[in-house]
Structure 1
């Protein structure tokens, strides 16, 4: 069986299952009630010491509605490879220190029919932006299948067209993205605040300089606007807030997207 093994366990997050469980259980504590049906989240993908608590705020709400979700479409930007379109893995299993998650082979076959989709393990093998989300999903959902999608040279419109037919009520859409990179603290705050205003105004024109996962966010904004969904910002911060070093920071935000 083809298994995608962890690439960044012990670097971006704890390798020990016991330590990882303890950390995530602590972060995924009680959160306010949320009555609206959750449809998607936007979460950061840095190392857990930098952005884990910010991501956990969104995943706490996923945990509240976990019985509704049996599949996760997980989208993030390829950091190591540039290619046309987007990439889904050949692998059948996605493994982390917390165990195995089955990849939705039927959805893979469906997407593989599109010319802008590549089925290849290569860009997935070293990629952190999807992997860091999996332990959160394993800690908040029961049994689920995963559809991991890495974006490269693909338009938000093409990506939205691919995922919309698969995004049913039992499917959670997770967009993995950080915000601005390596500005001073004050510059990053201004850039990221403006990016959030765009998101909250459903303007699907974020640039890579504003969010490394802009393609996924822009596709989500198009679909959320089409379906009449609402957004709620949970937490905007940057690595200067979480690490204390405010020289060259990376921005992070978490959002909930829900049906009215």
Structure 2
């Protein structure tokens, strides 16, 4: 066994160097937060993955503590922590794994999981280098928190990410994903050195993109974009659901400078509800018109509140508002301008969170995070048209060729999901109005996935689903869309 140690390098800078002082600060920051409860309809689960910031504890410690506090009750379960962060000081071609046997902090030594690390040695994107780790803060600042909440019963697998793409990082993560004994920890701050107001606006959009499992985050959005993009791809593949725990920036501390701030967020990624917890497709598609009016109001008020139009905040979830709101559901929110042109469309293909939260998040993202369009402006509000689609369960299309796929599609009925390798795209059934022929529809779906119109591969997978669509004109007339 390798007995070399990577010593602590940041004591006295990012956190207190003396063990007693460090423990006291950690205790205070962890005590200041309480883990948010999961929705009443789903059991409490241990996070499988966490996003945490990596600034000095005085700046981001309480945001990080909101994530680490979630682990306390699971300290006996978690045996391994896979820790990934960006390489700030030394250039790394792909991913850098250390050759030492342990990492040290003022609170003691953490042994590395050498067996799991040896399982990565055949991957060309993994380099075995100690120099990038020597002074790197993105990983070290997480270690005292882990020691505080997990004790000494876990092993560490630390990886610094440089030029690795999402697919390369996903390949690594799949090998070490493990089961309930393994926690994936992603270290990243958000925006850097914007004014307070600019950072708030940008970080809100970035957080929504993370909650929607975006895999094209940039360094301007998050300094840990490289590890995040790959981790989010794997998290989506494993059906995790994302939950924002806390968000702030360095300007929020007492006496903080508002002219140049750094943004922070902590997000938990948990196993999604089991099949028995989901809204069944038939239940969704038979939902009443009253639910549609409520969802449209929630979507519109969410957007209006963000635009600062003086309208009340989105309605709080009440026990008797509608039984479907508290249960997991998948939705798409589509926006059109006064001329009927698409202005934004974002949604969820799987029911990972309560329906009311899903519609709120998708309404915000459709208005301000759809990269095909500029963020919505207040002057567009008067002509804005809102549409909410509730998705039924997707079923695989068992086809062996494109000809079989074209014959199986039902124009005007099917929404379709295309998945091939790391690419995925979907078109709602409403798109049949612009592409009435199956060949046109499938070609448009391929184009959205970044594939040529004549592309076909044996590994290409298609699934279809149905939707219940609510739009404001139909609901105002008392009719169904």
TM-score range, shorter chain: over 0.9
Q: Which residue of 2 aligns with 1:253?
A: 265
For structure 1, the residue ranges without an aligned partner over 5 or more in a row are none
Equivalent position to 2:5, from 3, 6, 11: 3
**Higher relative CO (CA 8 A, sep ≥ 6), structure 1 or 2?**
1
Equivalent position to 1:42, from 29, 32, 51: 51
2:141 aligned with 1:132, yes or no?
Answer: yes
Q: What SS does the corresponding residue of 1:111 show, helix, strand or coil?
A: coil
Distance in 2 (alpha carbons) for counterparts of 1:83 and 1:90: 15
Aligned length: 260
Q: Which residue of 1 aligns with 2:177?
A: 167
The question of whether the paired residues in 2 share the 8 Å contact of 1:51 and 1:242 is answered with: no
Distance in 1 (alpha carbons) for counterparts of 2:93 and 2:214: 24
Q: What SS does the corresponding residue of 2:219 show, helix, strand or coil?
A: coil
Which runs of structure 2 are paired with 1:23-172 in the superposition (5 Å)? Answer: 23-29=25-31, 30-34=34-38, 35-142=44-151, 143-169=153-179, 170-172=181-183
The question of whether the paired residues in 1 share the 8 Å contact of 2:6 and 2:103 is answered with: yes
The question of whether the paired residues in 1 share the 8 Å contact of 2:35 and 2:67 is answered with: no
2:191 aligned with 1:180, yes or no?
Answer: yes
The question of whether the paired residues in 1 share the 8 Å contact of 2:97 and 2:129 is answered with: yes
Shift of 1:32: 4.3
The question of whether the paired residues in 2 share the 8 Å contact of 1:38 and 1:65 is answered with: no
Shift of 1:157: 1.4
Larger gyration radius, structure 1 or structure 2: 2
Distance in 2 (alpha carbons) for counterparts of 1:67 and 1:258: 18
The question of whether the paired residues in 1 share the 8 Å contact of 2:19 and 2:107 is answered with: yes
Q: TM-score w.r.t. structure 1 length?
A: 0.97
Distance in 1 (alpha carbons) for counterparts of 2:53 and 2:203: 13
The question of whether the paired residues in 2 share the 8 Å contact of 1:58 and 1:254 is answered with: yes
Range 21-30 or range 157-166, more displaced: 21-30
Q: What SS does the corresponding residue of 2:218 show, helix, strand or coil?
A: coil
Question: RMSD of the TM alignment (CA)?
Answer: 1.1
Q: What SS does the corresponding residue of 1:211 show, helix, strand or coil?
A: coil
Q: TM-score w.r.t. structure 2 length?
A: 0.53
The question of whether the paired residues in 1 share the 8 Å contact of 2:246 and 2:265 is answered with: yes
